[in-house]
């Protein structure tokens, strides 16, 4: 409808997107076959019907299993390129995707294979689709800080292809403070810093991400509402939250979209953005997330414009690079 057309044509940035979370079942089967691997599902439909999650860990178990089909540079290229084509269809003009190198190096897939495939697709995205991008490497927080240090070392030859380093995977029991030293090193290297915090974990993890890791954005952050002083700080300092509505309902952070707090946060003056997180697993890319929020919570045109502008403003682009999209 006309309303959806409006949301589509708004220039939007996606700031919270795991490339491994864009692996559609069709591509997963294709890559499994190409690489001579057997998947524990009879077909695409059987795999899709397994996407029923009670919490974050249920999802992560399938997500890491699925990522096992990614082996060659071409695999990483095909994954990234398919995502960029979806972005073009949704009116996404800029992306800052995450990837999880440790889930691949643990399977003896070299860092260079990952970077080459991903960056070649991102370059083609700029050349052929006009989509700009900046890449973010994420540490897996269920692994040790020592493992994160090793990963940072392995990524150093590719440093110029990274804009920031993030922190993802199972949040409960893996607080930001566990990674304070390695993010000190990330800071010394002049890279940006983001972290998942306040998705399943408490508001205190958001405080730790801000005060100990010095994050420039908070990924998810929806549990900030449990601490009014934190809410006030996020508003006063306009620290962006990269909120993922379909993810939050599929992982039962909110029971239903009607219960989601994103529009409440926006109305309080927080710099919230809409993102898709792992769209192949959660049933929708960026535009579908805007539509789902609009349909369940209501979103005026002015609010849609504000959300899209927030996504551009919260990006790592320079002011001059942002200007044409604002
Ligand atoms: N890895 C991929 N998606 C994630 C999420 N929503 N939270 C934590 N780790 C993730
Ligand atoms: Zn995420």
Q: 45-57 pLDDT, tens per residue? A: 999 999 999 999 9
CA distance 83 to 147: 28
pLDDT level of residue 1 (50, 70, 90 thresholds)? confident
Tokens of 313: 């403003």
Give me ligand 2 centre to Cα 156, in Å. Answer: 23
In a domain, 121, yes or no: yes
Check pocket membership of 221 for ligand 1, CB cut-off 6 A. Answer: no
Give me ligand 2 centre to Cα 251, in Å. Answer: 11
Residue 66 confidence (pLDDT) above 90: yes
Taking CA atoms only, the protein residue closest to ligand 1 atom 10 is: 169
Q: Which of 278, 281, 282, 283 to mutate to test the pocket of ligand 1 (most atoms within 8 A of CB)?
A: 278
Work out how many domains the chain is built from and give that number. 1
Q: Please count the helices (runs of H) and the strands (runs of E) in the chain.
A: 17, 10
In a domain, 64, yes or no: yes
Contact in structure between 219 and 136 (CB atoms under 8 Å): no
C-alpha atoms less than 13 angstroms from C-alpha of 71 in its C-beta half-sphere: 11
Mean residue pLDDT of the chain comes to 98
CA distance 68 to 272: 33
First to last CA, the chain: 24
CA distance 294 to 288: 10
Residue 41 is part of a domain; what is its CATH number? Answer: 3.20.20.140
Predicted interface score ipTM higher than 0.95? yes
Check pocket membership of 20 for ligand 1, CB cut-off 6 A. Answer: no
Residue 36's domain comprises 2-316
In a domain, 83, yes or no: yes
Q: Is 47 left (phi over 0), alpha (psi -120 to 50) or beta?
A: alpha
Closest CA to 273 of 321, 228, 217, 230: 217
Q: 88-129 pLDDT, tens per residue? A: 999 999 999 999 999 999 999 999 999 999 999 999 999 999
In a domain, 325, yes or no: no
Catalytic residues: 199
Helix (H, G, I), strand (E, B) or coil at 5: helix
């Amino acid at each position: 409808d006309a309303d959806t057309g409006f949301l589509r044509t708004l220039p939007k940035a996606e700031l919270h997107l795991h490339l491994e979370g864009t692996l559609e079942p069709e591509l997963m089967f294709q890559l499994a076959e190409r690489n001579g691997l057997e998947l524990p599902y009879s077909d695409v439909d059987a795999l899709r019907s397994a996407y029923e999650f009670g919490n974050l860990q249920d999802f992560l178990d399938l997500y890491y299993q699925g990522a096992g089909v990614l082996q060659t540079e071409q695999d990483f290229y095909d994954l990234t390129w398919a995502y960029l084509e979806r972005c073009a269809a949704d009116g996404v003009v800029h992306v800052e995707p995450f990837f999880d190198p440790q889930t691949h190096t643990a399977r003896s897939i070299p860092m260079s294979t990952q970077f080459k495939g991903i960056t070649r697709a991102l370059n083609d995205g700029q050349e052929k689709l006009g989509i700009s991008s900046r890449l973010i490497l994420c540490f897996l927080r269920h692994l040790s800080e020592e493992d994160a240090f090793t990963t940072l070392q392995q990524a150093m030859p590719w440093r110029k292809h990274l804009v920031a380093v993030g922190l993802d995977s199972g949040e409960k029991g893996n607080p930001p403070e566990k990674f304070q030293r390695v993010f000190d090193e990330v800071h010394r290297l002049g890279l940006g810093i983001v972290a998942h915090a306040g998705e399943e974990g408490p508001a205190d993890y958001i405080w730790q991400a801000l005060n100990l890791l010095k994050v420039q954005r908070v990924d998810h952050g929806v549990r900030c509402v449990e601490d009014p002083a934190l809410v006030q700080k996020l508003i006063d300092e306009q620290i962006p939250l990269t909120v993922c509505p379909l993810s939050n309902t599929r992982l039962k952070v909110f029971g239903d979209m009607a219960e989601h707090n994103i529009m409440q946060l926006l109305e309080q003056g927080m710099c919230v953005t809409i993102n898709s997180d792992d769209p192949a697993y959660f049933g929708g890319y960026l535009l579908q997330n805007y539509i789902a929020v609009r349909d369940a919570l209501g979103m005026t045109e002015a609010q849609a414009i504000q959300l899209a502008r927030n996504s551009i403003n919260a990006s790592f682009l320079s002011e001059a690079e942002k200007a044409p999209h604002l």
